[in-house]
Every structure is written in structure tokens, then in C-alpha cells.
């Protein structure tokens, strides 16, 4: 009922009331006023309900070589404010891309790589923080997470998409340069000791971007959100229906098929697989996930691996999950179990392998 209709009703009522005797008039007036107040209260609640109703706002963008999506649970009242916060999170990711990209000649990473073997370069604070984490991942993962893998990625053509099979000599030289022990951090500078070395944050850069985007959202009061960077996902709170965020685990042999549904609440899920970036040469399949020990694409029966961690257990949960998912594509089950137990935090791993023409799913959980 609109206020105009209510006003007309009240006017008609006054005319009727004027003609009544004194006692009936008093009783009628009391009843009417009570009813009138309930109507007004109902109108206010409906209006307030419309303002406070939960809605999902979403923005997509392209950065770090992949498509991103940010979802935030808001209300009609806070929609514009929360959209501005989402824009701030997007700008944070884009700024990181300007720092970490191997493909932008003006990026901090490109500058560090360009002066490899020549001189130290001042590093962006974000790059420095991520590099230090990456070097720790190297030690924790049997040396398979290698932030210095750039030379190997380059000679195989995974940077310019001019895929090729390198010579044994080129592979051996790249493996020599891929050594993170040649990376020196002194104060705010980074020095790659050998000429031709290249930093490559493809293994944990997206995860770090997700963590930074969520930190921006949370610092502006967002309590329910999901950030998806190229299939790497971290969520806080719940979705618009008050449930955990729904995430589908794809069949690595048929990406139109979902083989498992995960409900995320304050958790991160990251998947690594070779179906995104690969090429064929003389009928043989070559994937982009490299084994730094051999300088060759990883040879494994693993089709994909998915890592799930709780946000509360790590300062940078998505970064951790991203780095581990890349590493676990190379390691065997025993090695994976050893690695996740080293963290002394709850970590779940879902391995999908192909055995005798069929998919086999393994669930590994840390002892913590």
C-alpha cells in the first residue's frame, strides 16, 4: 500500500468518525490507529528489506595472461560502494601484473632478468615478498618448484608459442641456469648471478594476485567473496544463498564434465594440469609443466592435481596452494605426502591419474 492510498483512506475514515457518537468514536479511533501503525511498519520493513536484500555483484577482467572473475555478496544499499572496492582489487592485480610479467618489457621482472649476470636491480616490495616465498617452496618440494625455470620455458617455446624440441646441449645449459641458488637477495635488490637467468612467477604469481585481491576486499569490509584467477580460486564467507561457494572439479580428459563439486568457505582451491598449454611433435605430447632437474616436460601418470587449504592456516593461502599444485604434478604420492606433512597444517590433495584407460582419484590428507 502506497502512502497516497494510506492518506486517502485516513481522510475517508475521519469523515466517518465525525458522524459517530462519543463512545463508539473512541473505540473505533483506537482500533484504527493500531491498524494504521501496523500498515506503516509493514511498509517500512518492505522498503528496508529491499535495501538489505543480498545480491551478488560480479566483474571479469583479463590479467596475468588469463581471465579473472571477482564475485562479492552485497546489498542494494552497498552495491555502488562494493563495486568501487572490487575495482580497487582489480587494480591491485593489474599492478602486480605490471611488476611480475615476463612479457612486459618495462616490468620489474623483465628488468631483473635483463641485468642477469650484470648487476643487482631494486625489487618491488610485492615481488620481493613473493620471491622469498618461492625460494622456500623450492626447499620444501624436493627442489621441483623453481622460480628460476625461465630459461627452460623459453627454449621449449612456451613463451612465444613457437614450440620446438631443444637440443641436448641447450637443455643442459638451461638446467644449469635454472638454479635458484644463483638468486641473491641483498636488502631491496635482486641479483641473478649467471647471464641468461630468468625469473618466472608462473607457478605462484596468480595465487599471489588472488591473495592480494582478497586482502583488498577484506580491508574494505567485504566479508563474502570469491576470486577466480584462471581457475585458481579462493573464497571467503558464503555465497548469496548462505552456502559455501560452489566449485566444480573438471574431468581432465573431458573439460565439459564435472567429476566432483567442492563447497568452499574461507578456503583456497588450486588445480594444475597440462591440458591448458601443450603441443604435439611427431605424435608425442609435450606439456608446459617442466621438471627442473631434467629440463624436460614432466613425465607422469598424473592428469591433474588439486590442492585445498584453509585460509586461516596461511597468510597467503592461495599462493601456497598454487605453488604446491604445480609441484605435485611432478612428484609421486609418497613425496606429496611428505611435503604436505612438512607444513604441519591441514592440506588436502586430490590426484587424478589415468590407469588402464580409466580415471583413478586419490585423496591425500596431511597428518595435521
Bridge-based pairing of strands 121-122 and 302-310 is unpaired
Cα 94 off chain centre by: 14
Read off the C-alpha cell for 268.
Answer: 583456497
Read off the C-alpha cell for 184.
Answer: 641473491
Least confident of 23-32, 51-60, 220-229: 23-32
Q: What is the mean pLDDT of residues 233-259?
A: 93
> What's residue 278's pLDDT?
81
pLDDT 10s digits, 248-283: 998 888 888 999 999 999 999 999 987 777 888 888
Comparing 19 with 119, the larger pLDDT belongs to: 119
DSSP for 353-367 reads EEETTEEEEEEEE--
DSSP for 247-305 reads EEEEETTEEEEEEEEEEESSEEEEEEESSSSEEEETTEEEES-EETTTTEE---SEEEE
Residue 145: exposed, middle, or buried by beta-carbon count in 10 A (0-12, 13-18, 19+)? buried
Q: Does residue 27 surpass a pLDDT of 50?
A: no
> What's residue 320's pLDDT?
98
Q: What is the mean pLDDT of residues 55-75?
A: 97
**Reported pTM:** 0.85
Comparing 304 with 40, the larger pLDDT belongs to: 304
Least confident of 237-241, 264-268, 313-317, 352-356: 352-356
| Angle, helix 205-219 to helix 125-140, in steps of 10 degrees | 130
Q: What are phi and psi of 218, to 5 degrees?
A: -65, -35
Q: What are phi and psi of 61, to 5 degrees?
A: -160, 170
pLDDT 10s digits, 165-210: 999 999 999 999 999 999 999 999 999 999 999 999 999 999 999 9
DSSP for 328-341 reads HTTS-HHHHHHHHH
Cα(61)–Cα(301) distance, integer angstroms? 34
Q: How confident is the model at residue 19 (pLDDT cuts 50, 70, 90)?
A: low
Q: Does residue 14 surpass a pLDDT of 50?
A: no
Q: How confident is the model at residue 50 (pLDDT cuts 50, 70, 90)?
A: low
HSE value, Cβ hemisphere, 13 Å, CA-based, for 235: 21
Cα(146)–Cα(175) distance, integer angstroms? 11
Q: How confident is the model at residue 44 (pLDDT cuts 50, 70, 90)?
A: very low
Q: Does residue 235 surpass a pLDDT of 70?
A: yes
Cα(156)–Cα(167) distance, integer angstroms? 10
With helix as H, strand as E and coil as C, how does 148-198 read?
Answer: CCHHHHHHCCCCCCCCCCCCHHHHHHHHHHCCHHHEEEECCEEEECCCCCC
Amino acid at each position: 500500500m502506497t502512502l497516497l492510498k494510506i492518506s486517502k483512506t485516513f481522510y475517508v475514515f475521519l469523515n466517518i468518525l465525525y458522524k459517530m457518537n462519543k463512545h463508539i468514536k473512541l473505540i473505533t479511533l483506537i482500533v484504527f490507529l493500531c491498524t494504521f501503525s501496523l500498515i506503516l511498519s509493514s511498509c517500512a520493513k518492505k522498503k528496508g528489506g529491499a535495501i538489505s536484500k543480498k545480491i551478488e555483484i560480479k566483474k571479469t577482467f583479463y590479467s596475468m595472461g588469463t581471465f579473472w572473475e571477482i564475485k562479492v555478496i552485497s546489498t542494494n544499499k552497498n552495491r555502488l560502494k562494493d563495486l568501487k572496492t572490487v575495482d580497487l582489487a582489480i587494480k591491485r592485480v593489474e599492478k602486480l601484473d605490471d611488476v611480475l610479467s615476463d612479457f612486459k618489457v618495462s616490468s620489474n621482472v623483465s628488468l631483473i632478468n635483463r641485468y642477469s649476470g650484470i648487476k643487482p636491480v631494486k625489487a618491488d616490495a610485492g615481488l620481493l615478498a613473493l620471491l622469498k616465498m618461492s625460494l622456500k617452496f623450492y626447499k620444501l618440494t624436493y627442489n621441483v618448484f623453481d622460480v628460476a625455470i625461465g630459461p627452460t620455458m623459453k627454449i621449449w617455446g612456451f613463451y612465444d608459442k613457437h614450440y620446438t624440441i631443444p637440443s641436448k646441449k641447450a637443455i643442459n645449459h638451461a638446467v644449469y641456469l635454472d638454479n635458484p641458488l644463483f638468486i641473491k637477495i641483498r636488502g631491496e635488490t635482486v641479483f641473478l648471478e649467471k647471464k641468461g637467468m630468468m625469473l618466472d612467477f608462473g607457478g605462484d604469481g596468480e595465487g599471489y594476485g588472488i591473495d592480494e585481491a582478497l586482502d583488498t576486499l577484506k580491508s574494505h569490509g567485504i566479508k563474502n567473496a570469491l576470486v577466480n584467477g584462471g581457475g585458481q580460486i579462493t573464497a571467503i564467507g558464503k555465497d548469496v544463498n548462505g552456502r559455501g561457494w560452489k566449485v566444480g572439479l573438471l574431468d581432465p580428459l573431458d573439460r565439459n564434465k564435472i567429476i566432483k563439486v567442492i563447497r568452499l568457505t574461507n578456503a583456497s582451491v588450486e588445480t594444475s594440469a597440462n591440458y591448458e598449454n601443450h603441443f604435439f611433435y611427431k605424435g608425442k605430447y609435450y606439456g608446459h609443466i617442466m621438471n627442473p632437474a631434467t629440463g624436460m616436460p614432466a613425465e607422469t601418470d598424473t592428469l591433474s592435481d588439486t590442492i585445498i587449504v584453509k585460509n586461516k592456516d596461511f597468510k597467503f593461502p592461495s599462493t601456497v596452494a598454487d605453488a604446491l599444485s604445480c609441484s605435485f604434478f611432478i612428484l609421486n604420492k609418497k613425496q606429496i605426502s611428505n611435503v604436505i606433512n612438512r607444513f604441519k597444517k591441514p592440506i588436502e590433495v586430490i590426484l587424478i591419474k589415468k590407469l588402464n584407460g580409466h580415471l583413478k582419484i586419490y585423496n591425500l590428507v596431511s597428518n595435521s
